Amino acid sequence: MAEGKCFHHPSQDAVATCRGCGKGICKDCYDVYGVSSGEYAGQALCYDCTSQLVESNVAEVNKLKQKTKL
């Protein structure tokens, strides 16, 4: 179990630590941002790291999409 408070909800106890940056994550954040597949499957990511991962994945898909159009 993680110690401390949730980074985004400081009144809530952390139940996990973000695998990406180490910030505390409360149960609500874990339920929303827990990862079910891919590189971080079964691990928790905070909102910021989830956003960065999605942005990176979208950029990669767009790059691959451009290559297939050539």
Helices (H), the chain: 27-33, 47-69
pLDDT of residue 70: 61
Q: Report d(CA 66, CA 11) in Å as an integer.
A: 45
Q: What is the pTM of this model?
A: 0.74
**DSSP 8-class letter at 24:** E
- The more confidently predicted of residues 1 and 17 is 17
| pLDDT tens column, 2-56 | 779 999 999 999 999 999 999 999 999 988 877 777 787 888 889 999 899 889 9
Contacts of range 5-14, beta carbons closer than 8 Å, 24 or more positions apart: 7/46, 8/46, 8/47
Structure tokens at 46: 């905070």
